[in-house]
Amino acid sequence: MRTIPFETLKTLARQAGLTVISVTTPDEMVEDGQRLAGWQSAGYAADMSYMERSPGLLSTPTRLLESVKSIVVIAALYDRIPRPSLPAAHGRIARYAWGRDYHKVLRTRLSQLAELVNDQCGGSVEYRVFSDSVPLLERALSAKAGLSFIGKNTMAIIPGQGSFFFIGEVLWNVEIEGHTGGAGSKGRCGSCSNCISDCPTSAFVSERTLDAGRCISYLTIEKRGVLTYQERAWVGEWLFGCDVCQEVCPFNIVPLKKGARAALPELSSEAGIGPSLSLERVLSLRNDEAFRAIFQGTALMRTKREGLVRNAAIVAANTQATGLFELLVRVAEEDPSSVVRRHALWAAAVIADREGGSPRHRVIAALDRARKGEDGAMEEEVREIAIQLPNLL
């Protein structure tokens, strides 16, 4: 029989670099599936079609591995060092993306653990490893395993550690002996509602219910194409993701004050791009090859070139990055993506509207060329700019 003591499992997990670990059963998470169905029916998934999949699929681990006997859930903490001041003409990056791509990092570590257990059990283990890449309610599993609880900001929270961590799982046909559950399941938010009141876009409909369409993380990472003018304002300084609802959470105060570092070296800011990016560097990316050369192996690949350059133009406008004005005009006229050109033209117009003088004359000429061109999308943007910035023209 494929059985292993929990203490042995923890020892093997440490060999794979995984120190925060718990175990749960593979039975269906009925209540969590019902909550997901209600969230979906309310339209809170925005354009994320992958979140519209059957709640029964996402809440039933046996659909992913029929022989599953137990599920190991791990937490891999990432950097909780104080966020440095944002340099001029830079955009903020969400903490989880400071290091290497966690999907690959955790799958590698979890596979190492699974193979160690496989050897311990004589090579008869069937398993699958996951980390935020399959239809599975990971935060619900983490809470079920007693590793964490789900806070009012919908994040999984470990008392004493906070919410800045990744979740990973191993589903396998292994029985775990001697596991009594973790302390995380006893945690709760209490009366605090900082995450709800401090959200820049009022994305929380209620406690533990997020309207993804208003979330800065969704807008900067998941949403494709053109952002509305309201959405552009919401983005603020965030080039990729957002950490506001976590950084105001009391459970993160102590880890942030201590400057706690990532549990794995691959997840540290030194291993990846860090807390901010130069807007000039991003706006200068003209093709996918240049984009991949910089961001391959990081979570920023998720946006693709078009999305990240679009975001850089928006942040440039929101932060009045006047030094990027000429570059924005060039991007508006030369970039191969009409989505990028639209946002760059708008950003140049916003800066010119505030600066006046030479930038105003320069952008008016650019608007006139866009209006007379053959790109209908650019014509539409010019019309919107005329409405939003009437004093410019």
Q: What does the pLDDT read at residue 185?
A: 54
| Whole-angstrom distance, CA of residue 308 vs CA of residue 26 | 38
| Whole-angstrom distance, CA of residue 5 vs CA of residue 177 | 4
Whose tokens are 């120190």? That residue is 19
Strands, E, within 147-285: which ranges?
149-150, 156-157, 165-172, 175-177, 204-206, 209-210, 238-240, 276-278
In the chain, domain spans: 3-79+98-185, 284-388
Which is nearest to 204 in space by CA: 36, 43, 44? Answer: 44
Which is nearest to 139 in space by CA: 217, 193, 58, 201? Answer: 58
Structure tokens at 257: 């004050």
CA atoms within 13 A on the CB side of 148: 29
Q: What pTM did the predictor assign?
A: 0.95
Classify the C-alpha dihedral 110-117-30-195 as positive or negative.
negative
25 Cα distance to chain centroid: 28
77, β-bridge pairs: 165
Helix (H) or strand (E) holding 246: helix 244-247
Q: What does the pLDDT read at residue 135?
A: 77
In terms of C-beta distances under 8 Å and separation of at least 24 residues, what long-range contacts does 202-211 make, across chains too? 204/152, 204/153, 204/245, 205/42, 205/44, 207/152, 208/150, 208/151, 208/152, 208/153, 208/154, 209/39, 209/44, 209/154, 210/44, 210/153, 210/154, 211/44, 211/46
162-171 tens-digit pLDDT: 999 999 999 9
Helix (H) or strand (E) holding 256: helix 253-258
Residues of the chain below pLDDT 70: 1, 180-186
Radius of gyration of the chain (CA): 23
Classify the C-alpha dihedral 183-27-8-260 as positive or negative.
negative
228-263 tens-digit pLDDT: 999 999 999 999 999 999 999 999 999 999 999 999
Which is nearest to 354 in space by CA: 328, 322, 327? Answer: 322
Which is nearest to 384 in space by CA: 261, 228, 197? Answer: 228
Q: What does the pLDDT read at residue 121?
A: 93
203 Cα distance to chain centroid: 15
